[in-house]
Structure 1
Amino acid sequence: MKKILLYCVNLAAFITLMGCDNHNQSPRDAALVLEGRTMGTFWRVSLAGVAPERKESLQNAIQTQLDADDKELSTWKSDSVLSRFNQYQGTEPQPISDNMADIVTLSLRIARKTDGAMDITVGPLVNLWGFGPNRQPVKTPTQGEIDAAKALTGYRHLWVTERGERAWMQKDLPSLYVDLSTMGEGFATDHLARLMEKEGIKSYLVSVGGAVLTRGQNASGQPWKVAIQKPTDKENAVQAVVDLQGHGISTSGSYRNYYELDGKRISHVIDPATGRPIQHRLVSATVIATTALEADGWDTGLMVLGEEKAKALALREKLAVYLIMKENDGFTSWMSPQFKAFIQQQ
């Protein structure tokens, strides 16, 4: 069995890139690696068979593309397209780009499939608990504050329509606040893949935050591999290794992004139904799908649902899903039949 060499960086603390080691290769034959920051996280692109001389131009093209995506989707920037929609306190249809229409349409479809567990209008609750642009609360929000924030949410208050050649987004609750952060990393990852294809590059691994997509083979002529990390604070603690086979992957987890408040651990994953951070024992949900965007949408909904409902949904929708649950002093895992086709022996 060949030894798998870990990549030197992990993404969003949940996924580690593997199988693209550059040791014993000449500079021209080694993978070309580019990286930077976007959307409050890191992006990384690994390319096989691409001349080092293209590094600067590709770096600039990638950053320009991601900056444009951020300007469209950010809730942190008041002048973004999405922020302007959120600032609009009316119910008339507002023009949006095709990109945003695609994201919102898919988000609403997944919202219906998860019975609202994945809800892109949950922003007021995310902000209330201190995981959005608002500061972390100094005390646990009261039930009254939670109820007031919940009254401002609900994916059924939002829809996308087409008029002529334009896409439009409309809300029947004027104060509705749309937050696409749960989908932004997957969307940006897919966008980078399209950029690589446009640049004539056929073998690449692109990632933004915890979303990854691959095509072709790495610089060693082997499949690109991705490791799902164990839910611990130890780097490179591998739970499972997958060969994406040209698919996208995304992981949502509750064990890294949290804070302590009033003696309790507060997770960034908010349940739209209760208005509170999740409390169940599911700590990580990984999804492999045709696109990184779709994987990014499903993993959040599964995390909110918890172990049993997530399993039932994965089986019903035939999703490639890998779940990790807290079990006493350790962890247990479960994978759907569709996920098994991607597992690699370590």
Structure 2
Amino acid sequence: MAIVLLALAGCERAPRELAISGPTMGTTYSIKVASAPDTVDAHTLRVAADEVLARIDRSMSGYREDSEISRFNASPSTDWYEVSRDLATVVDYALEVSRESGGAFDITVGPLIAAWGFGAAGEPNDLPDESQLAQLKARVGHEKLQARLDPPALRKSAAALQIDLNGIAPGYAVDLMAERLQALQVTQFVIDIGGEVRAQGRNARGELWRIAVEKPIDAESEPYAIVQLDNAAVTTSGEYRHYYDRDGRRYSHTIDPRTGWPVQHSLASVVVIGPSSMYTDAWATALNVLGSEAGLELAQKRAMPVMFIDAVANGLVPVATPQFEFYVAVPPSTGKQP
């Protein structure tokens, strides 16, 4: 997990704080609530979380043959395919980020990810050559996919096209969870699903929620910087830990959909803050693909709160947009609380 909710100071849990956690989507989730209304207890939170996560699983799980996304992927039809509003909403936003990022984010890139050994089959014996990549690239491309919100439906122009929402569905799940908590009149909370974090209000001590950004190194996890959030989300996307080495070359798990190759830039990780977790989830991946130079240019153009962390010969070099500085509680390099 690249983003960690900081524990409150002291040995005992702060007063009036509720906390639950559990497994989901191949990772874990946690919810902390401060100043919960009398009608909400830990059991209420657990029921709400289970319902939201089951809803996402039925719609967007690539591991369930009966999920909406699996049925759409298996369909050879190139006509409009009716789906839930959830699925249409996520795909529609994914396509928007694809267009805005020049194709750096692409939910159809699954075949390329698998070819490079980052799918279920694992690392390949032989790396794909240019001929194989050209064949695979003919099967992917966000421009081959359309989404419609009313009535909700998807359409692919190539029968073999498939979509994978691992780069955006967890963020959407966090947002749905936030909506569910708000419906329960819960206004002070932090939600974390696999490092996708969204916070609102303040903790039980009346302080802004503080989130530690992990140092992008292969060694044991340690804080690199700390941000504080209120009604905002944060996501980190990075190259550390998720890679393999072959013949002296490192192959990242992040595939550039535009080239079909793993990214080769010096960016170790990128941290994105935004209004929703779906937003930060998708944009963190897009900016990670673009790298610190092109990514920073786009983030500045869009006035996005983003920090890029480059790995260079003498260590880590952070560069942030002016908008990111507003959220910094402890700047990079020390990661220590004042």
The TM-score normalised by the length of structure 2 is: 0.92
| 2:239 corresponding residue in structure 1 | 254
| 2:333 corresponding residue in structure 1 | none
The DSSP-based 3-state class of the residue aligned with 2:212 is strand
C-alpha contact 1:75 1:133 (8 A) present in aligned 2: no
Is 1:48 aligned to residue 34 of structure 2?
yes
Render the CA deviation track for 1:202-224: whole Å, top value 9, x for unaligned: 11100111210011111111110
Render the CA deviation track for 1:222-262: whole Å, top value 9, x for unaligned: 11011111112444522221112210111111102223344
| 1:286 corresponding residue in structure 2 | 271
Check 1:237–1:156 CA distance in 2 against 1; reply closer, same or farther (3 A cut): same
C-alpha contact 2:88 2:149 (8 A) present in aligned 1: no
The DSSP-based 3-state class of the residue aligned with 1:145 is helix
Check 1:85–1:21 CA distance in 2 against 1; reply closer, same or farther (3 A cut): farther
Distance 1:230 1:217 in 2: 25
| 1:328 corresponding residue in structure 2 | 313
| 1:16 corresponding residue in structure 2 | 4
Q: Please point out which of 199, 208, 217 is paired with 1:214.
A: 199
| 1:37 corresponding residue in structure 2 | 23
Task: Give the letter for the 2:164 counterpart.
Answer: D
C-alpha contact 1:118 1:300 (8 A) present in aligned 2: yes
Q: Please point out which of 154, 171, 174 is paired with 1:169.
A: 154
Is 1:268 aligned to residue 253 of structure 2?
yes
Aligned length: 330
| 1:80 corresponding residue in structure 2 | 67
In the TM superposition, residue 329 of structure 1 has moved relative to its aligned partner by 3.7
Unaligned runs of at least 5 residues, structure 2:
331-336
Q: Please point out which of 78, 89, 94 is paired with 2:81.
A: 94
Render the CA deviation track for 1:34-76: whole Å, top value 9, x for unaligned: 1111111111101112379821232132123212202211112
| 1:5 corresponding residue in structure 2 | none
The DSSP-based 3-state class of the residue aligned with 1:63 is helix
Distance 1:77 1:136 in 2: 23
Check 1:225–1:172 CA distance in 2 against 1; reply closer, same or farther (3 A cut): same
C-alpha contact 1:128 1:134 (8 A) present in aligned 2: no
Q: Please point out which of 121, 135, 147 is paired with 1:160.
A: 147
Check 1:101–1:21 CA distance in 2 against 1; reply closer, same or farther (3 A cut): farther
C-alpha contact 2:309 2:318 (8 A) present in aligned 1: yes
Distance 1:91 1:334 in 2: 44
Distance 1:33 1:308 in 2: 40
Distance 1:24 1:77 in 2: 41
The DSSP-based 3-state class of the residue aligned with 1:271 is coil
Q: How does 1:303-314 map to 2 (within 5 A)?
A: 303-314=288-299
The DSSP-based 3-state class of the residue aligned with 1:276 is coil
| 2:286 corresponding residue in structure 1 | 301
Deviates further, 211-220 or 47-56: 47-56
The DSSP-based 3-state class of the residue aligned with 1:160 is strand
Unaligned runs of at least 5 residues, structure 1:
1-11
The TM-score normalised by the length of structure 1 is: 0.90
C-alpha contact 1:158 1:169 (8 A) present in aligned 2: yes
| 1:187 corresponding residue in structure 2 | 172
Deviates further, 54-63 or 145-154: 54-63
C-alpha contact 2:202 2:230 (8 A) present in aligned 1: no
Task: Give the letter for the 1:73 counterpart.
Answer: M
